[in-house]
């Protein structure tokens, strides 16, 4: 009776797989798994439970996932140069909640980045922080809106009994001032949490900054943005064992039970990919972001933070209010097979969230498909023709995108073949 419905779901999945390989995806919070990482999803692990830690499970039959989880943790600790690390949170927001629940109590004052200033929803009253306190204040920003005003922040911390600072953003062009704020936080017993969801891969690739080394108390993140793993969460720190025990309980049983073993397995593979290729990948991501920002600027777009070199991350922010606003521009681009999202810009009122002035662009996925600076110039030209000249460029976008189908920075066979010098390839044939 319902088989036709099953067939329709299968058809939709095929359509999605095909369509997205013909689009230029510039969503700043997405990335793609390698073929080998995807191949291990859907195994028997998708049926199984593994509560607790490897070797200390509450279920039998976990020996294989114990080995995988142990390997993943071991190599991720090496990658992030940390003492403690937990891979059990099933998303970045769950990782945040596991940590926030340990350190924030009713009435505590928490300082965060505002929504317009790039802060994530989990940092705000309607998100995870709001479950524990309503005393949430925003970091003061410099006039450009893309940097925290350090002097003003330190002055507030001297006068106001802030309990927790939460750094990290969703609209994130430049590093936050961990090094400048950490000494006063340590002196006053303020917990400094750094949400690295967007920039985890840039940190792992040693191309952003080192918030843990600069004094952050604990790092939380999702694992599928600039870090090109499966959709999960992570938390890590160099704190004492006794304090880490609080985070451990926050992860389990505080915020999760079974931790979705099916997506843990590809994360282990991604850890090895990042150990091998992460620095080159992160370097190219930032090069591409800068190149795209410059090309859009030269094409007449109002690219933000030009006075600071546009960006130091994977993201580019553009004010498109003169073109109808972020919602309108994102819709036009989507109709031309270019996918990104509208975004509030600093100092915009929340009332404009349905059609803000800005768009947010991320280059990390297209970088993984092999695009470099020259391709960023092509993308900027496509923007110009779609948005300034009103031309339909969908067919051209699809033709362009079909040239970029290999997932690089991986151990996939086609990526290995593409990296192999031509002389070696000829000799082997």
End-to-end distance of the chain based on CA atoms, in angstroms? 53
Angle of helix 178-188 versus helix 150-159 axis, rounded to 10: 10
Q: In whole angstroms, how large is the CA radius of gyration of the chain? A: 22
Question: Which tens digit of pLDDT belongs to each residue from 131-183?
Answer: 899 999 999 999 999 999 999 999 999 999 999 999 999 999 999 999 999 99
> Domains plus CATH for the chain?
25-34+279-415 (3.90.1150.10), 36-271 (3.40.640.10)
Give the separation between CA 413 and CA 36, rounded to whole angstroms: 9
C-beta separation of 153 from 181 below 8 A: yes
- DSSP-derived secondary structure for 323-392: GT-HHHHHHHHHHTTEE-EEEPPTT--GGGTTS-SEEEEE-HHHHHTT--HHHHHHHHHHHIIIIIS---
pLDDT at 425 over 60: no
Q: How far is CA 281 from CA 32, 194, 366, in A?
A: 13, 22, 11
Q: Token pair 């510039």 is at which residue?
A: 26
Q: For the residues 387-406, what does the mean pLDDT come to?
A: 97
Q: How would residue 315 be classed by pLDDT, with cut points 50, 70 and 90?
A: very high
Contact 360, 341 (CB under 8 A): yes
Helices (H) and strands (E) in the chain, counts: 15, 13
Compute the mean pLDDT over every residue in the chain, rounded to the nearest whole number: 94
Residue 229 to residues 12, 20, 91, 265, 306, Cα–Cα distance (Å): 24, 18, 12, 10, 31
Asked if the model's pLDDT at residue 293 lies above 90, the reply is yes
Q: Provide the pLDDT for residue 92.
A: 93
Tracing tokens 């809106």 back to the chain, one arrives at: 145
Longest dimension (CA), the chain: 72
pTM: 0.95
pLDDT recorded at residue 175: 97
For residue 23, what pLDDT is reported? 98
Phi and psi torsions of 86, nearest 5°: -125, 125
> Mapping DSSP to helix (H, G, I), strand (E, B) and coil, where does residue 101 land?
helix
pLDDT of 272 > 60? The answer is yes
Assess whether pLDDT exceeds 80 at residue 126: no
Do 194 and 266 contact (CB within 8 A), yes or no? no
pLDDT of residue 329: 98
Q: By percentage, how much of the chain surpasses pLDDT 70?
A: 98
Does residue 231 have a cis peptide bond before it, meaning omega lies within 30 degrees of 0? no
The percent of residues above 90 in pLDDT, for the chain, comes to 87
Q: Which residues contact 169 (CB under 8 A, 6 or more apart)?
A: 113, 117, 118, 119, 120, 176, 195, 198
């Amino acid at each position: 009776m319902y088989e036709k419905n099953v067939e329709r779901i299968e058809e939709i999945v095929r359509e999605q797989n095909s369509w997205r390989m013909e689009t230029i995806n510039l969503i700043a919070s997405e990335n793609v798994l390698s073929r080998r990482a995807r191949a291990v999803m859907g195994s028997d692990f998708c049926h199984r439970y593994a509560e607790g830690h490897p070797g200390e499970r509450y279920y039998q039959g976990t020996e294989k996932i114990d080995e995988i989880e142990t390997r993943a943790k071991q190599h991720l600790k090496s990658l992030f140069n940390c003492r403690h690390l937990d891979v059990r949170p099933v998303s970045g927001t769950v990782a945040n909640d596991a940590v926030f629940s340990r350190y924030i109590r009713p009435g505590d004052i928490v300082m965060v980045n505002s929504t317009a200033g790039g802060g994530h929803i989990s940092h705000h009253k309607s998100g995870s922080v709001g479950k524990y306190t309503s005393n949430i204040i925003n970091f003061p920003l410099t006039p450009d809106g893309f940097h925290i005003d350090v002097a003003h922040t330190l002055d507030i911390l001297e006068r106001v009994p802030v309990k927790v600072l939460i750094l990290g953003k969703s609209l994130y062009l430049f590093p936050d001032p961990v090094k400048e704020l950490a000494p006063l936080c340590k002196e006053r017993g303020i917990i400094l949490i750094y949400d690295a969801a967007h920039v985890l891969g840039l940190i792992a690739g040693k191309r952003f900054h080192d918030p843990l080394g600069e004094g952050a108390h604990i790092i939380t993140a999702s694992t599928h943005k600039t870090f090109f793993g499966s959709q999960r969460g992570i938390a890590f720190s160099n704190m004492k064992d006794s304090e880490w025990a609080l985070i451990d309980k926050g992860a389990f049983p505080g915020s999760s039970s079974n931790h979705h073993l099916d997506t843990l397995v590809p994360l282990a593979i991604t850890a090895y990919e990042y150990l091998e290729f992460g620095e080159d990948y992160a370097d190219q991501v930032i090069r591409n972001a800068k190149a795209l920002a410059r090309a859009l600027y030269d094409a007449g777009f109002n690219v933000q933070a030009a006075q600071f070199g546009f960006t130091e991350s994977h993201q580019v922010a553009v004010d498109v209010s003169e073109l109808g606003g972020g919602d309108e521009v994102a819709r036009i681009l989507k109709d031309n097979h270019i996918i990104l999202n509208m975004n509030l810009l600093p100092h915009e009122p929340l009332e404009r969230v349905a059609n803000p002035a800005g768009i947010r662009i991320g280059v990390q996925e297209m970088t993984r498909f092999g695009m470099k600076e020259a391709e960023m110039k092509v993308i900027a030209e496509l923007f110009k023709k779609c948005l300034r000249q009103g031309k339909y460029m969908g067919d051209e976008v699809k033709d362009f995108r079909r040239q970029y189908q290999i997932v690089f920075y991986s151990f996939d066979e086609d990526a290995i073949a593409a990296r192999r010098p031509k002389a070696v390839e000829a000799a082997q044939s």
